[in-house]
């Protein structure tokens, strides 16, 4: 079988590609290669074909289990991961069913990402910030949609093209080849 990944870029050596497979301290030295290859025949594998799809659109990158984690690692290396973090929090927030829980989560999201001087403040205009402040008084699943669209647009125009040109993405593309199913 062709090699999936030879040696991971320095920025990805700490990345836990499959958090549900965490075990004891003996696995701390496991390389990115073995994480990507998985531990069983049924484990999804990261292959050249999947990674090359990431260059088609940000949407394809974010819909990939590994793509979103690698993109987030790239953004962390640039100290700009608040946008992807906010986007993910909003996607999760939309799944909230309980109105009490929705209200509580909306306030937390606002305090963390939206309000001026928030710890993980995203780059949105004051009109959007004011709209969200108004929306969270009676929160719905769409109260952060405007900000989420703005953040998605920023990532699509700025972070995503830089990611495609980054050493992380280029090293992964160079070190993978199409997997052969056994």
The ranges assigned to domains in the chain are: 10-78+159-174, 82-158
Residue 48: pLDDT band (50, 70, 90) is confident
Q: Higher-confidence residue: 72 or 23?
A: 72
Q: How confident is the model at residue 177 (pLDDT cuts 50, 70, 90)?
A: low
CATH code for 10-78+159-174? Answer: 1.10.196.10
Question: What is the per-residue DSSP string for 114-175?
Answer: ISTT-TT-----HHHHHHHHHHTTS--TTTTHHHHHHHHHHIIIIIHHHHHHSHHHHHHHHT
* Domain 82-158 classification at class level: mainly alpha
d(CA 158, CA 49): 24
d(CA 51, CA 49): 5
| Dist CA 81 CA 62 (whole Å) | 14
Task: Kindly state the average pLDDT of the residues 155-166.
Answer: 96
Range with the lowest mean pLDDT among 42-51, 70-79, 103-112, 155-164?
42-51
Residues 171 and 5: beta-carbon distance below 8 Å: no
Q: What is the pLDDT of residues 86-143, one digit of tens each?
A: 999 999 999 999 999 999 999 999 999 999 999 999 999 999 999 999 999 999 999 9
pLDDT above 60 for 180: no
What are the pLDDT digits (tens) for 3-43? 333 344 444 444 444 443 333 333 333 333 344 444 333 33
């Amino acid at each position: 079988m062709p090699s999936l990944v030879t040696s991971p870029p320095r920025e990805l050596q700490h990345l836990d590609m499959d958090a549900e497979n965490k075990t004891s301290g003996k696995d701390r030295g496991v390389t990115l290669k073995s994480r990507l290859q998985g531990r069983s025949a049924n484990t999804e594998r990261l292959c050249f074909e999947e990674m090359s799809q990431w260059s088609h659109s940000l949407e394809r990158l974010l819909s990939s289990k590994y793509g979103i984690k690698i993109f987030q690692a790239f953004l962390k290396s640039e100290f700009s991961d608040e946008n992807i973090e906010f986007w993910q929090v909003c996607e999760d927030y939309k799944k909230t069913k309980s109105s009490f829980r929705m209200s509580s989560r909306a306030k937390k999201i606002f305090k963390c990402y939206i309000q001026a001087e928030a710890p993980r403040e995203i780059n949105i205009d004051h009109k959007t910030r004011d709209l969200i402040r108004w929306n969270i008084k009676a929160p719905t699943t769409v109260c952060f949609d405007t900000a989420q669209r703005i953040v998605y647009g920023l990532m699509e125009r700025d972070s995503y093209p830089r990611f495609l040109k980054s050493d992380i993405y280029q090293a992964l593309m160079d070190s993978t080849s199409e997997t052969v199913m056994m």
